[in-house]
Structure 1
Amino acid sequence: MSTTTTTRLPIAHLPSAVLPGATVTLTLSTDELRRAVHAATDDFGGRLLLTGGDEQGLGAVARVPNVGNLPTGEAAAIVRVEGRARISAVHSESGSASLADAELLIDGPTTSSTDAAVRELRATLELIAEKRNSRRLPELLRTVQDPGALADAVALWAEFADGDRLIVLRAVDVGDRVDAIHAWARNHLNELQVAETIRNDVSEGMDKQQREYLLRQQMNAIRKELGEGDEDVTNEYRTKLVDLDAPESVKTAISKELDRFERMSSQSPEHSWIRTWLDRIFEMPWGERTDDNVDLVDAQAILDADHYGLDEVKDRIVEFLATRKLRRDRGLDARVDADGERSARGQGSVITLVGPPGVGKTSLGESIARAMGREFVRVALGGVRDESEIRGHRRTYVGSQPGRIVRALQEAKTMNPVILLDEVDKMAAGGWSGDPTAALLEVLDPAQNHTFRDHYLEVDLDLSEVVFIATANVLDTIPAPLLDRMDIVRLDGYTEAEKSFIARRYLLPRQIERSGLQLDEVVVDDVVINEIISGWTREAGVRSLERELGRLVRKVTSKVATGTDTPVNIVVDELTDWIGRRKVDDEVTARTNTAGVATGLAVTGAGGDVLFIETTAFPTGPDSEPGLTLTGQLGDVMKESAQIALNYVRSHADELGLDPDSMRQRFHVHVPAGAIPKDGPSAGITMTTALVSLLSGRAVKPTVGMTGEINLQGQVLPIGGLKQKVLAAHRLGLTEIVLPKRNEKDLEDVPDNIKADMTFHIASTYADVVAVAFEPAA
């Protein structure tokens, strides 16, 4: 508690509050201040009252020990603040100092709780003094014992702002004053501790960096003594550059990077980036080329030895080699014409092998490389959805590397290899990551790829001497601009006779060799092979056939390993014991023996296939209307074909001999298997035939398959993939094919032995289809 005494003293107002214990030099710049100081020294024993800031009812009692002039000549007074006072009244007279009645506030005795608070305050202040390395604060703690005076002294030492000084001035009660200073002390100590933690962390990091720097400098000195320093690395790179057989533009780019590498500190992140770039670019096979095997007879022999059939693609490769041979013989390889156009020597070739799985597209690429005498590299593009996979990543990214084309050249170690771009139809646009098919446009364009630029290397690469071979199952998913740069060669699949020859010549010997058997330890004749082809496989290629032969050979191997006498002779009647039950049944007759079903031909990613179009109809009731229901996962084009077929049948009912009243029904068209998506217009005449069969009650011949698009006028329009469709029909035992007239020329692609087994009916209009599709009327 505080005690009081009443007195009357001169009063003056200052811009800010002052606290007891402070010594202040006041410039006597105002009349009020001059009158108050003179009155204090003349009549009141040097004592006066001071108020500050916005404090009106509370002030400080001060004593003026000295009045004089500053070096500038201004009058000034030294004021020592002694205590607090509560002002009760102010008396002002014109021309003289204002006097105020005030109660002088004197700190009374403290309570036990205040004493405890003071002890905590002193402990906190000691920590602050230690953190700040202060000399004045420990002196205050040692010399000032009174709690109230200590609080005021700490506020003065800490140089509180005006608002904080007012809070301390108003704390007349000693306990409140101690609590206010203690709250400040705790916050200030927390700030000092946080600052010390940050300072220590920074210092520790700097010390660690300095230590690492010194160690690296010592390590560099050791490497230099051992001849392993950066200077030696740079000299090694420069030696490689002198011997490099690369274009001048590439050498210039390498030289600039070497200069940067030499000037750059090894601590810089770019130091390792540039070194990696230099390693990668020196790994390129600059100037390395293999000579083409231009012996056409030898090349043809290699192609024939590796693959049976495939005459078109073999002819294409032999033609390419013949062109190279002729240009070399006539000395045209290194010629550049007068207009600066590139010589045909540098024009690469882009062959695209399109066909179902298992026909030998990938292995044919290896065979082509062997026939040409070039290195072979396979680049798998299936599932690639990032443009950077083709063009490479920018050097600024962590873990960046060249694209697959550059890596293929590095793997081949020549600039003119055969690069197989496998499954090019399986690439997908990656959205924000770019379209890889667009990145291939420059790669596969012979007019542009002599200056191909990879994002990582950032130098021009000449790809014009590379022979690119692309493979695809279908062409539908390849963008038109990319397709325009390709030389399409179709591999439509094998006939049964070709499969039998391939199995006997290539597949069976390979499986026997892999199993560890000798060729004379197992006997598999042509009849057994043909039975496996017809009863266990139904495919355009030979992959499943090789799988079944491998299964058979493994069974034989297990028998031989357990002591069975050799040779083991495989007979047809025992096939199910060796490789299990048959997997393929002849279902055409069973599926088409009722009206409303027709057999169509289609092309899928797995080759040609046979589709059964099923139809039914039911009368419309009060809740349904005449119309069409479609099932079987049909695409938009196939749905439109079904609608066109129904509308054609409705509009030509009289010509087709159908009852017009029968059209007032709801029709359902189903294309098994329902789990497989289907699309395309080539089932138009098949859907029309199925509907006519349903409405007429006449079954379609089980031996007839058909393909062709139909329009609303009944014209039969051309389709694609005729050879694959005919081969699929032959595999299922169909003997008659209805096809559009404009596809008649495509029959030249069908093998002669297949054409000999089948009858082809050419259709210009749907009337031609009706004439051959149905069984004769009874």
Structure 2
Amino acid sequence: MAPSKAKLPLIPLAKDTILLPGIVLRIPVPNDRPDIPALLSNVYSRAASKTPSQRLDNVNVVCVPLNSLLLTRDGQKTISENEHSPKPKESSDINPSNASKNDLFGYGVAAKISGVEGRGTGEFALLVEGVARVKIEKFTQESPFFEAEVTYMHDDAISSDDVAIQGLFAHLKQLSRHLLFFTLLPRPGFSPLSPLLARRLEIYIARRGVQDAGRLADFMANIVEGSLEEKLQVLAALDVKDRIERVIALLQRQVDDLKNSVSIASFTGPGVPSNIDLDQMTKLNGRRTRRPGMPGMPPPPGMAGRGGAPMDDEQEPNEMDELKGKLDAARLTPEAAKVADRELKRLKKMSPAQAEYQVTRNYLENLSEIPWSAVTESHLGVETLSRARKQLDDDHYGLEKVKKRLLEYLAVLKLKQSINDDLNTQVAKAEEEKALERAESLKSKRVVDKSPILLLVGPPGVGKTSLAKSIATALGRKFHRISLGGVRDEAEIRGHRRTYIAAMPGLIVNGLKKVGVANPVFLLDEIDKVGTSNYHGDPSAAMLEVLDPEQNHTFTDHYVNIPIDLSKVLFIATANSLDTIPPPLLDRMETINLPGYTTLEKRHIAMRHLIPKQIQTNGLGPGQVEFNQEVVSKIIESYTREAGVRNLEREIGSVCRAKAVEYAEAKDARHVEKYKPQLSVEDIEEILGIEKYDEEIAEKTSGSVQLTGKLGDVLKESVEVALSWVKAHAYELSLTHDPTENIMKKRSIHVHCPSGAIPKGEISLRGRVTAVGGIKEKLIGALRAGVKTVLLPAQNRKDVKDLPQEVKEGLQIIHVQHIWEAMRYVWPESHWPGEENLAGIESRL
């Protein structure tokens, strides 16, 4: 907002007194201050010349604090003084009645006079409300009262993209709540803050948004303890960011001092949550409250007295009526409504200072925020399936199995809704005809929608989380992510019982409160990393009720203690591995595997999604950097080796940043025409450096055999089994001329597996080849390494159907059932001794 100028009367404030915008201040006026009556006469004269609607509210005065010897008039610390200049009066000698213009600070606050107390012959007081900061430009008179030309300094609007301000504002609110938290506790020599006053202050803090950051900083500066110089520096801080930083420093210091003077050991212990908030502290402290107020925190007008409060335009409605209205609007289930009605009657009989008052009030507020019956309407029309298919195809390349399952769910949902719509029509017709029995019979035939519980399993970076977001978009549902990694306490899932201090609902109920509907899409991220049984309970067991379609329509959170219907929630869980998920929990979910991407898939993903995203992220525009297929393939094959595309995106980002520097320098030098947006393979090597990975190339010659590499137990056993079989059939393999000879007596074997963590194969002691896992990953690796022929167990024939087309076309896949069949393709044809052993293999299997 552009600054505006005005000529206004000035009121010098008493020593160590400062008025800030948004604060109400009471200014006592003793008999020895003739400037105030003269000033009021002038103000009322000006007000009389305005229309009735513009009178006193729009006539401002400027409240100016007294200067400090340690600061300049601009709020900067004094470095040195000119010894020849006249010394200012000591601050103890200055008072508003004898102050000169040199004793006044360079900034003040324009305020409106909201009232006068104690009219008559004796002393009186002015009530003023701070409106805006002003800078004193020039004094125009000093008698009978001060008058000056001032410039209004309004706070600039805060951009929604200003991450720095948003972070500081969040920190400011957090410290403000911490200050209230500690002032609720008794300290030696001080009485705790009134719980009711603390609650209202908390409401004021909670209602402030980031656009009110400067206003909240001013309010907390009025509350927090600090020296005159520190408060004057806050007044002179015209930049909101600078002001917030100064107030944060004051708050942090006072909170740290309070921490040292208050022992909270009695409020912590096993089973008690660590993040106690203001409401829970009110419960702890309610019976110990002796009087409102505390030094450094005067009770605000309209709340508990006068002397330094927020100016809030909205009057707080009656709490009981407001709470009742919230509960009515929540459309609670009959059981929940019964509980809420009982608790509300109890609450009305309690005093706000009672220990249980805030606990019960919080409980009722939580009940009102849970979406008991509110749902997102399903738009299941003619184009639903085609629209969802397009959404999934636009967001993700490949993943046909997942897309197919989701479209199946949509189709089933659409058919169920069609059946229910027809039944509802028949029910309405039956009710019109007074055929109540038929109506009830038709109602019982309605199809219940039970959403599936999908588990997306795959390595990091394959798009599990982003796929869940796309599902929510395709369904037109609200989306909420719950991170389960590191959850070790059962109460985090089920909530805490209300008998505990600082009890609160669990992650599931809090998620429902956040989205505000009963049928959202919940992403249970990293379910394989949820904790198992410990002294805090078993969080994985708590998930059983959440994810069991036969139980979750009556899920009971320990805090709420009323059944909540979770059957409408579409749960999508993600995991990197199935090994750490308990079998009973795994049994509740429908597993969908997301294997790694092929080079072709990665190239499509990079060209369609990653490159446009990174170009925009790094400040480049269309046509300012161009990737071709060869360049992308080079990055994929030589600089990344992963199942997903996370590192690929990082490398693309590095290339884009390098081109951003190149373009910026060309633009600064005004030689944009010399800038080349096209990337070559040579450019990639120059930007990303030496190739991180060499492609594994298939060996052209055979070698000796030993056992090395990082081998898991399964592979070690496989090698032992293979060796036993070879020793048993050494004569048939022409490895010895004596059936009794030990072939290992003069031989050694070396088996090397560079990626031994992935099981490569298994045979039985009789030579039967059994199925293996990870077929897609193994064959993709074989194709990239230049292998042309691959032997697969016959039992893995079904896995070949899901292979990408480029893999099927690039490899000759041969299925074998027995080791003799496999060796036929491995053994040199001219020396193959086992032809007769192939006869009758099928009959022996």
Q: TM-score range by the shorter chain?
A: 0.5 to 0.7
Partner residue in 2 for 1:651: 728
Partner residue in 2 for 1:16: none
Is the Cα contact below 8 Å between 1:357 and 1:541 reproduced in 2?
yes
Query: CA offsets per residue over residues 436-462 of structure 1, 9 Å max, x none?
Result: 221111111111111001111111111
Is the Cα contact below 8 Å between 1:333 and 1:343 reproduced in 2?
no
Instruction: Work out whether 1:286 is the aligned partner of 2:372.
Output: yes
Q: CA deviation at 1:651?
A: 1.9
Q: CA deviation at 1:305?
A: 1.2
Instruction: Work out whether 1:321 is the aligned partner of 2:410.
Output: yes
Query: CA offsets per residue over residues 51-79 of structure 1, 9 Å max, x none?
Result: xxxxxxxxxxxxxxxxxxxxxxxxxxxxx
Q: CA deviation at 1:264?
A: 3.6
Number of residues of Structure 1 aligned to a counterpart in Structure 2? 510
> How far apart, in 2, do the equivalents of 1:377 and 1:451 lie?
21
Is the Cα contact below 8 Å between 2:327 and 2:367 reproduced in 1?
no
Instruction: Work out whether 1:359 is the aligned partner of 2:447.
Output: no
Instruction: Work out whether 1:663 is the aligned partner of 2:772.
Output: no
Which among 310, 327, 337 is matched to residue 399 of structure 2? 310
> How far apart, in 2, do the equivalents of 1:406 and 1:257 lie?
20
> How far apart, in 2, do the equivalents of 1:394 and 1:734 lie?
61
Partner residue in 2 for 1:602: none
Which among 802, 809, 815 is matched to residue 756 of structure 1? 809
Instruction: Work out whether 1:331 is the aligned partner of 2:420.
Output: yes
Instruction: Work out whether 1:710 is the aligned partner of 2:763.
Output: yes
Instruction: Work out whether 1:585 is the aligned partner of 2:694.
Output: yes
Which among 257, 269, 279 is matched to residue 355 of structure 2? 269
Please report the TM-score for the alignment, with normalisation by the length of structure 1: 0.60
Is the Cα contact below 8 Å between 2:286 and 2:355 reproduced in 1?
no
Q: CA deviation at 1:633?
A: 5.6
Partner residue in 2 for 1:388: 491
Is the Cα contact below 8 Å between 1:633 and 1:678 reproduced in 2?
yes
Partner residue in 2 for 1:632: 710
Query: CA offsets per residue over residues 409-448 of structure 1, 9 Å max, x none?
Result: 1121111100111111122314222222211111111111
Residues 672 and 721 from structure 1, CA distance in 2 versus in 1: closer, same or farther, beyond 3 angstroms?
closer
> How far apart, in 2, do the equivalents of 1:653 and 1:584 lie?
40
Instruction: Work out whether 1:249 is the aligned partner of 2:358.
Output: no
Which among 421, 424, 447 is matched to residue 550 of structure 2? 447
Is the Cα contact below 8 Å between 2:423 and 2:443 reproduced in 1?
no
Partner residue in 1 for 2:774: 721
Query: CA offsets per residue over residues 540-574 of structure 1, 9 Å max, x none?
Result: 22212111111111110011111153442211233
Residues 327 and 587 from structure 1, CA distance in 2 versus in 1: closer, same or farther, beyond 3 angstroms?
closer
Is the Cα contact below 8 Å between 1:231 and 1:262 reproduced in 2?
no
- What residue identity is the alignment partner of 2:663? V
Residues 665 and 386 from structure 1, CA distance in 2 versus in 1: closer, same or farther, beyond 3 angstroms?
farther
Instruction: Work out whether 1:471 is the aligned partner of 2:574.
Output: yes
Residues 209 and 711 from structure 1, CA distance in 2 versus in 1: closer, same or farther, beyond 3 angstroms?
closer
> How far apart, in 2, do the equivalents of 1:209 and 1:586 lie?
70
Unaligned runs of 5+ in 1: 1-207, 598-613, 616-629, 684-707
> How far apart, in 1, do the equivalents of 2:550 and 2:459 lie?
30
Query: CA offsets per residue over residues 724-775 of structure 1, 9 Å max, x none?
Result: 3222322333322221111112110112221110011211111122122345
Question: What pairs up with 1:108-187 in 2 under 5 angstroms?
Answer: none
Residues 433 and 316 from structure 1, CA distance in 2 versus in 1: closer, same or farther, beyond 3 angstroms?
same
Partner residue in 1 for 2:519: 416
Residues 752 and 677 from structure 1, CA distance in 2 versus in 1: closer, same or farther, beyond 3 angstroms?
closer
SS in 2 for 1:434: coil
Residues 280 and 587 from structure 1, CA distance in 2 versus in 1: closer, same or farther, beyond 3 angstroms?
same
Residues 394 and 210 from structure 1, CA distance in 2 versus in 1: closer, same or farther, beyond 3 angstroms?
closer
SS in 2 for 1:330: helix
Partner residue in 2 for 1:374: 477
Which among 789, 794, 804 is matched to residue 741 of structure 1? 794
> How far apart, in 2, do the equivalents of 1:410 and 1:466 lie?
13
> How far apart, in 1, do the equivalents of 2:568 and 2:657 lie?
45
> How far apart, in 2, do the equivalents of 1:315 and 1:369 lie?
15
Residues 272 and 593 from structure 1, CA distance in 2 versus in 1: closer, same or farther, beyond 3 angstroms?
farther
Unaligned runs of 5+ in 2: 1-284, 294-298, 307-313, 425-438, 667-671, 832-845
Partner residue in 1 for 2:681: 572
Is the Cα contact below 8 Å between 1:374 and 1:418 reproduced in 2?
yes
Question: What pairs up with 1:41-52 in 2 under 5 angstroms?
Answer: none
Residues 291 and 284 from structure 1, CA distance in 2 versus in 1: closer, same or farther, beyond 3 angstroms?
same
> How far apart, in 2, do the equivalents of 1:210 and 1:473 lie?
51
Query: CA offsets per residue over residues 249-275 of structure 1, 9 Å max, x none?
Result: 111122222233233444443322222
Partner residue in 2 for 1:346: 449
Query: CA offsets per residue over residues 699-745 of structure 1, 9 Å max, x none?
Result: xxxxxxxxx32111111111223223222322333322221111112
> How far apart, in 1, do the equivalents of 2:564 and 2:649 lie?
41
- What residue identity is the alignment partner of 2:418? D
Is the Cα contact below 8 Å between 2:698 and 2:787 reproduced in 1?
no
Q: CA deviation at 1:342?
A: 9.1
Is the Cα contact below 8 Å between 2:478 and 2:515 reproduced in 1?
yes
> How far apart, in 1, do the equivalents of 2:526 and 2:286 lie?
51
Is the Cα contact below 8 Å between 1:293 and 1:299 reproduced in 2?
no
Is the Cα contact below 8 Å between 1:333 and 1:344 reproduced in 2?
no
Instruction: Work out whether 1:238 is the aligned partner of 2:324.
Output: yes
Q: CA deviation at 1:662?
A: 2.8
Question: What pairs up with 1:473-488 in 2 under 5 angstroms?
Answer: 473-488=576-591
Is the Cα contact below 8 Å between 2:789 and 2:814 reproduced in 1?
yes
Is the Cα contact below 8 Å between 1:234 and 1:262 reproduced in 2?
yes
> How far apart, in 1, do the equivalents of 2:588 and 2:447 lie?
17
Is the Cα contact below 8 Å between 2:371 and 2:518 reproduced in 1?
yes
Query: CA offsets per residue over residues 384-417 of structure 1, 9 Å max, x none?
Result: 2222221112222223321111111112111110
> How far apart, in 2, do the equivalents of 1:532 and 1:631 lie?
27
Instruction: Work out whether 1:642 is the aligned partner of 2:728.
Output: no
Instruction: Work out whether 1:500 is the aligned partner of 2:603.
Output: yes
Partner residue in 2 for 1:595: 703
Is the Cα contact below 8 Å between 1:631 and 1:669 reproduced in 2?
no
Is the Cα contact below 8 Å between 1:324 and 1:345 reproduced in 2?
no
Is the Cα contact below 8 Å between 1:337 and 1:343 reproduced in 2?
no
Is the Cα contact below 8 Å between 2:788 and 2:811 reproduced in 1?
yes
Partner residue in 1 for 2:757: 678
- What residue identity is the alignment partner of 1:543? R
Question: What pairs up with 1:529-608 in 2 under 5 angstroms?
Answer: 529-563=632-666, 565-589=674-698, 593=701, 595-597=703-705
SS in 1 for 2:558: coil
Partner residue in 2 for 1:258: 344
SS in 2 for 1:654: coil
Partner residue in 1 for 2:559: 456
Residues 260 and 633 from structure 1, CA distance in 2 versus in 1: closer, same or farther, beyond 3 angstroms?
farther
Is the Cα contact below 8 Å between 1:223 and 1:229 reproduced in 2?
no
Query: CA offsets per residue over residues 119-159 of structure 1, 9 Å max, x none?
Result: xxxxxxxxxxxxxxxxxxxxxxxxxxxxxxxxxxxxxxxxx
Which among 498, 503, 512 is matched to residue 400 of structure 1? 503
> How far apart, in 1, do the equivalents of 2:458 and 2:690 lie?
29
Is the Cα contact below 8 Å between 2:727 and 2:742 reproduced in 1?
no
> How far apart, in 1, do the equivalents of 2:531 and 2:291 lie?
51
Q: CA deviation at 1:665?
A: 6.7
Query: CA offsets per residue over residues 231-252 of structure 1, 9 Å max, x none?
Result: 9423332233333312101111
Partner residue in 2 for 1:433: 536
SS in 1 for 2:684: helix
Q: CA RMSD in A?
A: 3.4
Q: CA deviation at 1:596?
A: 3.9
Please report the TM-score for the alignment, with normalisation by the length of structure 2: 0.56
- What residue identity is the alignment partner of 1:552? V
